[in-house]
Amino acid sequence: MDIKEIKSVIEGLLYVAGDSVSLKELSHVMDIDESTIKKIINQMIDSYNEEKRGIQIIEVNNSYQFSTRPEHYEYIERLVKPQTRQGLSQAALETLSIIAYKQPITKAQIDSIRGVKSESSISRLIDKELVFEAGRLDAPGRPIIYCTTDNFLKLFGLKNLQELPPLQDNSDEVAASEDVQ
């Protein structure tokens, strides 16, 4: 298979899948090694970006999928008239941030960091498929542990969790505010 045909097959597979397809799965289906597939997909990503095409290939946790360009949202919204989506509350955003940076984490640990109960925020995040129950902690009571989903990564435009911005150290601000009192 020449490179044009490989690119064509990859496009077809990503289009039909609709959701993300792992590099491993693409390699298996096409019977081509993962490093070759990855190089070709990276070429395709560059090409789509250079040509400013209406679609792009995004990478999420070593998986790939087609996506429309964010800058075309206004036009796409006019065409498909999405249902009004309710955003996340401040409490849900705080909870999501804690889970993203501290995962895997239990509800009790989240509550301890926030200083308030987080049950409803966690439920809302699970409903929106941004967080999932990743299992149970091997501790008394076997509490549920929570992690973020690939939908979380997609929503925030991240390839993986390592792309999360670093946490700011607020210890200097806390010390300064304690000195004032």
pLDDT in the model for residue 167: 83
Closest to 56 measured CA to CA, from 38, 41, 43, 69: 69
> What's the CATH fold of domain 3-73?
Arc Repressor Mutant, subunit A (1.10.10)
Q: Which CATH class is domain 90-166?
A: mainly alpha
pLDDT of 177 above 50:
no
Percent of the chain with pLDDT over 70: 91
Closest to 9 measured CA to CA, from 38, 30, 27, 32: 30
Contact predicate 65/57, CB 8 Å? yes
User: Per-residue pLDDT tens for 94-104?
Assistant: 999 999 999 99
Contact predicate 23/15, CB 8 Å? no
pLDDT in the model for residue 80: 82
Q: Are strands 131-136 and 105-106 parallel, antiparallel or unpaired?
A: unpaired
Domain with CATH 1.10.10.10 in the chain: 3-73, 90-166
pLDDT in the model for residue 84: 59
In whole numbers, what is the pLDDT of the chain averaged over residues? 89
User: Per-residue pLDDT tens for 49-91?
Assistant: 999 999 999 999 999 999 999 999 889 888 887 565 678 889 9
Q: Taking phi first (over 0 means left), then psi (-120 to 50 degrees means alpha), and beta for anything else, what does residue 75 get?
A: alpha
Cis peptide before 104 (omega within 30 of 0): yes
Buried/exposed code over 168-179 (b: 16+ C-beta within 10 A; e: otherwise): eeeeeeeeeeee
User: Is residue 174 very low, low, confident or very high in pLDDT (cuts 50, 70, 90)?
Assistant: very low
User: Per-residue pLDDT tens for 10-51?
Assistant: 999 999 998 899 999 999 999 999 999 999 999 999 999 999
